[in-house]
């Protein structure tokens, strides 16, 4: 198959990366674009870039951070292109099996872009404030502030159902 894994630096095989991080990339792209189809385009773009740059990646941590960073960049580029071409940005939130899932997801998706990005990275990817700050190229205090305000907004949206935990 493609590319032999470098055991010495513990860089995973491309197949392993695709298997392990595909969902992470797609979900981050989905919450940022709020459109599943756009997110799939971005997913393809991100992994094609990964194929081209596979030799430059060092280890698994680097791979994950690289994927998140490139996904954010690709999303920004995609959204700018859509905006420049005056194409509509329809909300096409994927349907969920449980209404409560949809309610929470829609609440996050309704946040401004910078808030829902940090919420997603913090809640779903489990990234620490420091790591989010590094990936978004901003200060930790800015990330903390964004998280705080995002939670406040979610509390307003979800009302009594909001649980800060």
Site size toward another protein, by CB under 8 A:
43
Q: Is 129 in the site for another protein (CB under 8 A)?
A: no
* 85 vs 164 by CB, closer to another protein: 164
CA angle 82, 88, 90 (to 5 degrees): 115
Sole window of 29-37, 73-81, 131-139, 140-148 interacting with another protein (rule: CB under 8 A)? 29-37
Q: Which contacts qualify for 19-22: CB closer than 8 Å, 24 or more apart?
A: 21/63, 21/64, 21/67, 22/47
Exposure string (b/e) for 7-18, b if CB count within 10 Å is 16 or more?
Answer: eeeebbebeebe
Q: Is 124 in the site for another protein (CB under 8 A)?
A: yes
3-state secondary structure (DSSP) of residue 97: coil
| The dihedral sign for the CA sequence 13, 46, 68, 125 | negative
Question: Across-strand partners of 6?
Answer: 11
* 46 vs 135 by CB, closer to another protein: 46
Q: Is 43 in the site for another protein (CB under 8 A)?
A: yes
Q: Decide: 115 and 138 in contact? Cβ < 8 Å.
A: no
Q: Is 115 in the site for another protein (CB under 8 A)?
A: no
Q: Is 70 in the site for another protein (CB under 8 A)?
A: no
Q: Which residues contact another protein by CB under 8 A?
A: 1-3, 14-15, 18-19, 22-23, 25-27, 30-31, 36, 40, 43-44, 47-48, 51-52, 94, 96-98, 100-105, 108, 119, 123-124, 154, 158, 161-165
């Amino acid at each position: 198959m493609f590319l032999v894994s470098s055991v010495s630096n513990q860089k995973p095989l491309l197949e392993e990366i695709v298997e392990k991080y595909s969902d992470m990339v797609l979900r981050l792209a989905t919450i940022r674009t709020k459109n599943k189809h756009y997110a799939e385009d971005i997913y393809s773009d991100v992994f094609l870039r990964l194929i081209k740059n596979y030799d430059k990646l060092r280890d698994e941590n680097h791979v994950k951070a690289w994927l998140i960073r490139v996904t954010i960049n690709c999303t920004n580029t995609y959204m700018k292109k859509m905006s420049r071409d005056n194409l509509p940005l329809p909300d096409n939130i994927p349907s969920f099996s449980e209404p409560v899932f949809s309610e929470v997801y829609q609440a996050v998706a309704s946040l401004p872009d910078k808030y829902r990005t940090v919420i997603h990275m913090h809640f779903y990817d489990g990234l620490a404030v420091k790591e989010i700050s590094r990936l978004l190229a901003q200060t930790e205090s800015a990330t903390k502030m964004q998280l705080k305000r995002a939670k406040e907004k979610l509390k307003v949206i979800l009302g009594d159902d909001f649980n800060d935990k």
